[in-house]
Amino acid sequence: MRRKKKTVYPILENVEITTIAAEGKGLGRIDNFVVFADKAIPGDVINAKIIKKKKDYALAEIDSLVKPSEKRIASFCEHFGTCGGCKWQHVDYTFQLEFKQQIVEEAFRRIGKVAIENIQPILGCEETIFYRNKLEFTFSNRVWLTREQIDSGEVFDRNALGFHTAGNFASVLHINQCFLQDEKVNTIRNAVYDFAVKNSYTFYNLKFHEGLLRNLIFRNTTLNEWMVTVCFAENDMEKIELMMHFLKDNFSFITSLNYIVNTKKNDTIYDQEVITFHGNNHIIEQLGTIRYKISTKSFFQTNSKQAKRLYDIVKDFGNFSKNDLVYDLYCGTGSIALCIANDCKKVVGIEQIPDAIIDAKYNAELNEINNCVFHAGTCEDILKEEFIAEHSRPDIVVVDPPRAGLHEKVINVLLEAAPKKIVYVSCNPATQARDVLLFSEKYAVTKCQPVDMFPHTFHIENVVLLELKS
């Protein structure tokens, strides 16, 4: 079968970018025709190369920059533009916050049909580099090469340890220096790569599912505890132990050293056994007075310092009292539940991942908190009339769902239960606004606070207070 020829579109000249659209793309117009341009920002005038065209809009990339926006700055990372992360590092941070504020306001106006009068200015990060507490790198024997490298005919080392490139999951960009997590990560990662090459370790091939080295996961805490987990795709104990001894002997600050043998075709580790090679099987984080056990599989906010500020907002919006029964839906390792427990009568948490529930119970014991109970399972399966009858109707509900937002069944149960307040924490203002619209019959939005958890990205955390209408 003959392949369809790819359409070559003419360059759209002098497109002025006026605002930011979904996924952080710049938006411009030519008459009524909309252009979404990757890496373009408001104030840019660009010549746009069309990638995909529909009747009234096109997806494009910058062919040339006619006039740069005053909001543009020089990127600080050598991998910018190729790596799939930090897509806004060419934007001044002050303007990043302005754009994120606009995205939240636009989501609620357009999707939630709510014009929030008292939306608070976005809470920015004090640290905009080296702010993360978790990173996961991928080993691959299919390193990403530039077109110039390919055309040169030169032979390159095809092994890589880094991140997947934007829009291309099959290849991996080798990372020399990353600015997302503590510099120790760069030191360990580069040492592991050199050790692996020197000792003839095979790097994973995603297409054929071959190769020993698969993933390298880092976690650290503000208490300076470090967890390193190596994922192998084959049970070669001789080479596994050699690698683990290398890490143990050369990086004494690692407090939890683990490995996983994952022979499945996908990278998910939640169904895999984690074997602790050295140290503890967890690390400890502290936010305020609350300490948290974090294991390899645990969900925890990846920006610890900003997470503390986020949870303080939840406490402020909830204004909890000693008479309040609180449900914490999508509770993870109990991070929010434990922060508010001392202000409430009781907290009931629900979380899908069983290991997270184990950690949540451990965290409650660690902090000598005895008024929290945790249940493993999906919220839509557990949160039913019988569950509410058993635990009593909640006075306040805190929800922190994944990017997809709340399941319709959960919304319906909450509407029926009618708690006096719902504190809705979201990492996706679009789905949050959609859900707020579904609550609007019974609830009014009385507070809204955007929080920037991830500088140099278009991701936004947003907290909304919904109060029962009288």
Q: Which of 296, 233, 295 is nearest to 265 (CA)?
A: 233
Report the alpha-carbon distance of residue 463 to residue 307 in Å, rounded: 12
What is the distance between the alpha carbons of residues 38 and 282, in angstroms, rounded to a whole number? 40
Is 427 one of the annotated active-site residues of the chain?
A: yes
Give just the sign of the alpha carbon dihedral 305, 306, 309, 311: negative
Nearest-10 Cα torsion for 184, 187, 192, 193: 130
Rounded to whole angstroms, the Cα distance separating 134 from 182 reads 10
Could you tell me whether strands 134-140 and 168-174 are parallel, antiparallel, or unpaired per DSSP bridges?
unpaired
Query: For 69-167, where are the alpha helices, taking DSSP H only?
Result: 93-110, 147-152
Vertex 187 angle, CA 453 and 165, to 5°:
55
Relative to beta strand 226-232, strand 256-261 is parallel
Residues in the chain: 470
Handedness of CA 444, 448, 454, 455 (dihedral sign): positive
Ramachandran region of residue 372, left (φ > 0), alpha (ψ -120 to 50) or beta?
Answer: beta
Query: Counting Cβ atoms within 10 Å, is residue 280 exposed (0-12), middle (13-18) or buried (19+)?
Result: middle
Question: What are the tokens at 165?
Answer: 């490139």
Helix/strand/coil for 427 = coil
On the 0-12 / 13-18 / 19+ scale of CB atoms within 10 A, 421 is buried
- Supply the DSSP string of 387-412, one letter for each residue: HHHHH---SEEEE---TT---HHHHH
Catalytic residue among 77, 125, 427, 448: 427
Q: How far apart are alpha carbons 83 and 251 in whole angstroms? A: 27
**The residue type at 152:** S
Write out the E strands in 188-262: 213-220, 226-232, 256-261
- Angle among Cα 218, 222, 224 to the nearest 5 degrees reads 65
DSSP 232-288: ESS--HHHHHHHHHHHHHH-TT-SEEEEEE--SSS---TTS--EEEEE-S-EEEEET
Q: Please identify which residue in the block is written with the tokens 């993933």.
A: 215
Residues that are catalytic: 427
